[in-house]
Structure formats: C-alpha cells, structure tokens
Structure 1
Amino acid sequence: MDSKEMRCTFKFYTSSQVEEEQPFLQHSTNQACMVARWKPLLSKRHMTAHLEFAKRHLKDSQTMGNKILWSDATKIELFGLNGKHHVWRKPDTSHHLANTIPTVKHGGGSIMLCGCFSVAGTGGLVRIKGKINAAMYRDIFDENLLQNALDLRLGQRFIFQQDNNSNHTAKITKEWLTGQLCECP
C-alpha cells in the first residue's frame, strides 16, 4: 500500500462501499485513521553527514557517551497542543465530556524553554522570552552552557550535541562555539 492509499480522506470515508467494509477493515487489520506524524525532512546531504559522523565514531569507546551534553528547546502550551485530536465515539455523543477537549480564547499562553542533559543528569532550564534568533541563542550559551557542563562534571573536553536549527548553525553561533573549543558534530 503506497502513502497515498494510507491517507484518510473525506471522499474515502463518505463512499458507500467503505461504510459497509469499514468495521471489517478496522478490526481485521488493526488500522484506523490517525493524524500523520511530523518529522524533519532530510536531504541527501544530511543523510551523508549523519552516516559520516556515525562511521567516524563507530570505534569510540562506550564511555564517550559520558562526555556528551545534549540540548534542545521546547514550547509548552498552557492548554493542549497545536494540532488535531481524534477520538473514537458513538453517534450523538460529541458533546460528552470524554469526547471534548477544553479550549480557551487565544490559547491561554505558552512558554519557550531551552535546556540540556547528559548521562550525569539534567542541566538548568532557560526561559526564552520572545522569538529566538541566533544572537539570543549565543547569549544563552554564553551564560549557561559552560556552567551546565561544569555542574554535570563533564570536564573541559566535552561534545556539545544539538539539532541543526538555523539558529544553531548560524555563523555567530558557530564562531562562539569554536571560540569555546566545543566539539559540535
């Protein structure tokens, strides 16, 4: 079955043939219409870089993982997620409490946090106010990265692992990391 056949469409669900066969299809194959997951688009260049990195570190000792400081940022919303929610329900039960998701006007607010962790534990969280850019990201590093590495007892030589967000790969961020002698794959 190709990806187009896997997608659920309104036309698919309103066809009379599907209505007759739907209970059989759902239960016999354990499949249901669900929201597709989001994942980063990887170009051939990205895949090649990942493979080369893996090959370079293939013979590293298992203790190498003890020297990695991982980082990421996340958005936390007060009410729910930005996305669709599906529920299985019987007809005429759409307003039952179990079949609804509470909402508030204007989403109720959210905060953006940046943090890090290693095998030794978690580092501090930094609240990001406003929209983040490369200069703000570099300032977060300047104020927090090395202190977190010291607190987690990673030593002076550690590997800083981050995703390839454009703020992380910006020239001023890379220059700051190079100036601090952090190895960043």
Structure 2
Amino acid sequence: MSYQSAINVVHSVEIYAEIKKKKPLLTEKHKKARLAWAKKHQYWTVHDWRRVISSGETKINIWGSDGCKYYWKRKCDHLQPQHIDVTVKHGGGGLMLGGCITSEGPGYACQIYNGTMNSEVYQEILGTSLQDNMEYYGLNWETSVF
C-alpha cells in the first residue's frame, strides 16, 4: 500500500492530522505559587499595575524551527492531553534575545550572548538595557516593580 493510499483510508473514516498544541509545564508547586501571587495582588489598583515592568526572553533558531508535531484525530474529537506538546523553557540552542515591556511601551531588545539566562546575565541586563529603557520612558527605578 502506498503512503497516499494509507492517507486516503485514514481520511475516509474522518481522521485528520493536526499540529500538537504547546503549553508550559505547570507542576502543583507552580500552580500553588501562581495562586498565592494572584491572591497577594488581587487588590492592586491600575496605578500599581502601571509600575510593573515585565521582562522575558525568546529563542530564535538560526537553523530552522524546532518543527511541528502532528497527531491524528476525527473532526468531532475534542482536544486531548496527548494532542498537547508540553514545553520547558530554556531548552537550549539558538540565538537568545531578552527584553521588557512597560506601561509606556516596549523596551529595547538585547542579545544574550552565551544563550543562557542566569542571575549574572539577568543582573547585567537590569544594569544596562533596563536602565536605558527606564530613562527613555522617564520611569522611576525606586517605584517600579520587576
């Protein structure tokens, strides 16, 4: 049987390939910490939230994507756990960029040269790029929340 014949048979019973969805790995410890954080901040005002500066990093693959993963399902099937590809941050490889966003707008992107975000690299970013962003937007280092 050829590949296309096999695909035709599978399609004839209304089973189709789908790309696996991705979600971060959340343990019970993570979930409890998130709930505690949310309860701690539930009464913050808009003014309080405007002081928050969010930072993050992203990996850009130089040699192509990490690839799509497919699964088979019928049109009427609901999303199942086996249809989800669990991801773990800092999987390694590629070009890493860091940056932030403030209530005033996005910050500058900076390259993380060795591809690993650790406390030393993060502190260097806070001392250079983040400080430049805060000066650009006229934000106060003392009252901002990271």
Q: Aligned runs of 1:47-86 on 2, under 5 Å?
A: 47-78=31-62, 80-84=64-68
CA spacing shift, 1:85–1:38, aligned 2, 3 Å: closer
**Percentage of identical aligned residues:** 27
Question: Cα 1:15–1:127, aligned 2, differ >3 Å: closer, same or farther?
Answer: closer
Which structure's CA Rg is the greater one?
Answer: 1
Contact 2:20–2:68 (Cα < 8 Å) also in 1: no
Map of 1:92 onto structure 2 = none
Kindly tell me the number of residue pairs found equivalent between the two proteins: 118
Aligned residue for 1:150, secondary structure, equals: helix
Aligned-pair distance for 1:115? 0.6
Which residue pairs with 2:134 in the alignment? Answer: 149
Question: Aligned pair 1:36/2:20, yes or no?
Answer: yes
Within-5 A mapping of 1:1-185: 18-22=10-14, 32-78=16-62, 80-84=64-68, 111-132=95-116, 133-155=118-140, 156-160=142-146
How far is the alpha carbon of 1:142 from its aligned partner?
2.0
Name the structure 1 match of 2:89: none
SS of 1:68's partner is coil
Mark the CA change 1:128 to 1:47 in structure 2 (over 3 Å): closer, same or farther: same
Instruction: Identify the residue that residue 85 of structure 2 maps to in structure 1.
Output: none
Listed as ranges, the gaps of 5+ residues in structure 1 are 1-13, 26-31, 87-109, 161-185
TM-score between both structures, scaled by the size of structure 1: 0.53
Aligned CA distance change for structure 1 residues 144 and 19 (closer, same or farther; 3 Å): closer
Unaligned runs of 5+ in 2: 1-5, 71-93
Q: Looking at secondary structure, tell me which structure has more helix per residue.
A: 1
